[in-house]
Structure 1
Amino acid sequence: MTGTRSRRRVRRSTADGGRPAGRRRPTGGDRSAADRPRTVRRSADRRGQTTLDFAVGAGVFLLAVAFVFAFVPAMLDPFTAAGGSALIVADGTASHLAEDALAETPRRPNVLDESATKAFFDADECELDGDPIDEALADGDRIDVTLVPLDEGDEESCGSGGPADDVAVAQRLVTLDGDQYRLTVRVW
């Protein structure tokens, strides 16, 4: 072997178990602290979560659950309201009256023609083109149409009146002879 040193591994004797000199296994009795396996210790002074942390976390969770139970049904209520078809009929009828049937021209929706409006409200059953508006509604719905001035004046109404509850209502703001009115359609 010229110019190179040979490296030899020194094998330790089996008497010490092949361990480094500072880590010998004791021959009897308890192990020393250095020889014990390292485990996670739980003590009150070294925990990461205190009772107060747990209480705050549980409180926030309960508030979130209460929020969900309180507000989600209210958010879904418009989509599950009873009488959904009556609401659609009321809204469609109000739009048809304000924008087409009683309007001066299609270019000026919500501006009512005086003669068409007078003829509509003078009839006993809210007639459009000679037919009562109740007959045009599906499922035998009943209707009440009211024209109320926003300032002062007389209220115009036609239809069959109606119950105080379980009524679908749609409203439009309209102009008649330069005055503002509220056109209200009730369907039940």
Structure 2
Amino acid sequence: MFPQKLSPERSSSRDRGQTTLDFAFGVSIFLLVLAFAFTFIPGILQPFAEGTAAETVGANRAADTLAEGTLGDPATPYVLNTTCTVGFFDTGVPSGCRYTGSTATERLSIGSFQDVNVTLRGSTSGTDYSLLCWNGTALTEADSPNCGTGDKRLATGDPIPSVSIPTITARRVVAIDGTTAVIRVVIW
């Protein structure tokens, strides 16, 4: 009528809650989750697109150098001198500016094994940031009628490559000529 109680020696084999298959299944799931974490989490946490460490450091160093003193006074970082900034995007070097050379790679001391593109983007008439232009007297958007064919577009360096080549981009918000702008440095 009542089931017989088993002795402790006999009950251990029947009442066991985990089998070898249960253990193997649990360990397999744990290893899959661990492999997923090691594969995808570093990419999620990385603040830049994939690239080499030298490119990441180079882009940040170049953007900091431009924003914190090369294009202005180091005593007032992120406030750019208009003459030095326009000259940086041209081939000449105005007197009193803190850079030398005639190309963006020379002025930023970037090695010959890397390419660089530097632009200054902002908005003088609306909310959309676009490439800025110096028309000889004031900043304006490069695509506006105030920027003629002889005016200086504030972009220098090599053309940014197609999507197939990984690039590193660093940006710094600055002020120039009463306008908030963004220095964008792309290295590949």
TM-score normalised over the length of structure 2: 0.61
Q: Which runs of 5+ in 2 are unaligned?
A: 1-6, 93-97, 129-140, 143-152
Say if 2:56 is the partner of 1:87: yes
Sort the Cα spacing of 1:108 and 1:85 in 2 relative to 1 into closer, same or farther, 3 A: same
Aligned AA (1:163): P
Secondary structure of the structure 1 residue equivalent to 2:171 = strand
The structure-2 alpha-carbon separation of the partners of 1:62 and 1:179, relative to structure 1 and needing over 3 Å to count, comes to farther
C-alpha RMSD over aligned residues: 3.2
Q: 1:157 is matched with which residue?
A: 155
Aligned 1:5-84 pairs, distance under 5 A: 40-42=9-11, 47-49=15-17, 61-77=27-43, 78=46, 81-84=50-53
- Is it true that 1:137 corresponds to 2:135 in the alignment? no
Listed one character per residue, the Cα deviations across residues 7-29 of structure 1 (whole Å, up to 9, x for unaligned) are: xxxxxxxxxxxxxxxxxxxxxxx
Deviation string, structure 1 residues 49-77 (Cα, Å, up to 9, x no partner)? 167xx75x766544432221112123445
Q: Percent identity between the aligned chains?
A: 23
Contact 2:118 2:185 in 1 (8 A): yes
**TM-score for both structures, normalised by structure 1:** 0.61
Partner of 2:172: 172
Q: Please tell me the residue identity of whatever aligns with 1:113.
A: N
- The equivalent residue for 1:119 is 87
**Greater length-normalized contact order (CA 8 Å, ≥ 6 residues apart):** 2
SS in 1 for 2:80: coil
Larger radius of gyration: 1
After superposition, the Cα gap between the structure-2 partners of 1:40 and 1:139, relative to the gap in structure 1 and judged at 3 Å, is: farther
- Work out the CA distance in 2 between the residues paired with 1:93 and 1:112: 15
- Residues 69 and 41 from structure 1, CA distance in 2 versus in 1: closer, same or farther, beyond 3 angstroms? same
